[in-house]
Amino acid sequence: MAIKVLIRRTCPKDKEPELFRSIREIRRRVSQQPGYISGEYLQSIGDKNEIAAISYWFSLEDWQGWFESEERKAIQANIDSIPGVTTEYTVYKFIMIPNEI
């Protein structure tokens, strides 16, 4: 079952260059991962310090493989070391909404 992963990060403006270096590295490596379909990055209009990534995966197992990989953990450790940066992950599955209940 395909899933979507929402990654929300907050980042002070003066730390964006540091964060963006790590995000570019993630983008380069994640595209080579089994089960990765695509992804996009967004910046909140209401809170300029919030950056979101939405990635699409063929399965939860594919996402978990990447999430648990040493290469992703190393990049995330760099992100975690940037003062003021926080990261939250939420995984979503597709659902069917019935026409009638």
Average pLDDT for runs of 10 along the chain of length 101: 96 95 95 96 95 97 98 97 97 91 68
Task: Quickly tell me which residue has 């939405």 as its tokens.
Answer: 54
Task: Quickly tell me which residue has 């926080």 as its tokens.
Answer: 86
Domain 3-93 in CATH 2.40.110.10? no
Task: Give the per-residue pLDDT at 43.
Answer: 94
Task: Give the per-residue pLDDT at 72.
Answer: 97
Angle of helix 16-30 relative to helix 70-80, nearest 10 degrees, comes to 170
* DSSP 3-state of 36: strand
Neighbouring residues of 25: CB distance < 8 A, sequence distance ≥ 6: 75
pTM: 0.90
